[in-house]
Amino acid sequence: MVKNGLLKLAILLLYLFSLLPFWLLYLISDFLYVFMYYIVHYRRKVVRANLKNAFPDKTTSERIEIEKKFFRYLADFIVETVKSITISEKELKRRVVLTNPELINHYYAQGRNILAIGSHYCNWEMAGLNFYFYTDKKFMIVYKPLSNAIFDRFFYRIRSRFGTIPVAMKQTLRKVIEFKNEQTAIALLGDQTPSREELNYFVDFLNQKTPVFLGPEKLAKSMNSVVLYYDMVRLKRGYYNYTLIPLFEEPNKTEPYQITNTHVNHLENIINREPQYWLWSHRRWKFKPEDVN
């Protein structure tokens, strides 16, 4: 009971924190960066090891530069995500812009469903909130539930603020069946780490053998959805554009793993372009091919 009370108090504080203007939140972010990077060394060993393995051809100083830029952005991401609790529709539309919304209408006019694959790159949470503004169909975001039920419900409310339907990963098929007679758009993150029981396929990604979650490919083929990739770019602090890149219009005509390989390669190119915006603090390579039973 005491723990739940403290969690609810923390949520209340986050709500109050979200009411602060962006300029003040970014001032707090500057202090948060110093605290995480220089004082508590938050996951610095993980980030450093990931960068060393991903970019063996870069010098140590080059990787340290990326590391610092990543932590600066991580601090910004944290305060921006908190701001999402109360951000207005007008403000969100001003700060996050889809460059080619006509592509959505193009496929809807053909009677197609849409599967948009993204990653833990730039502010994926704000992109998920924003995408709903460009579609009049049901829009679902597939997410991995948090272990704490109170915080999981809290983030569910944030993600569903403007009409988006958050769907827990294990409930995706049930939702697809529920809306089988309607046109839908589904967004998910393609760089999720599979569980040990799902270590079925590894790819060469950032110079390492990497386990890949096959959910996007299976979902695309089961629905015969147009497969798009949403490429997000940070313009400046608090402002983003994202563009929908068509990958496959006929997923059922693809070879096994072709969709998976393609979206992973696309992400790798994006990371190489501006590596500081990917979530390097994630333990992405905790499983190796030898871990497969």
pLDDT number for residue 195: 83
- CB neighbourhood size of 264 (10 A): 21
pLDDT number for residue 273: 97
Please list, residue by residue across 50-61, b when 16 or more beta carbons sit within 10 angstroms of its beta carbon and e when fewer do. bbeebbeeeeee
- Integer Cα distance of 102 and 55 in angstroms: 37
pLDDT number for residue 1: 60
pLDDT number for residue 146: 78
pLDDT, block means (10 residues), the chain with 293 residues? 75 92 97 97 96 97 98 97 95 97 94 95 94 90 84 87 89 86 92 86 95 93 94 97 97 96 97 98 89 73
CA atoms within 13 Å, Cβ hemisphere of 98: 22
pLDDT number for residue 72: 98
pLDDT number for residue 169: 86
pLDDT number for residue 84: 94
pLDDT number for residue 265: 97
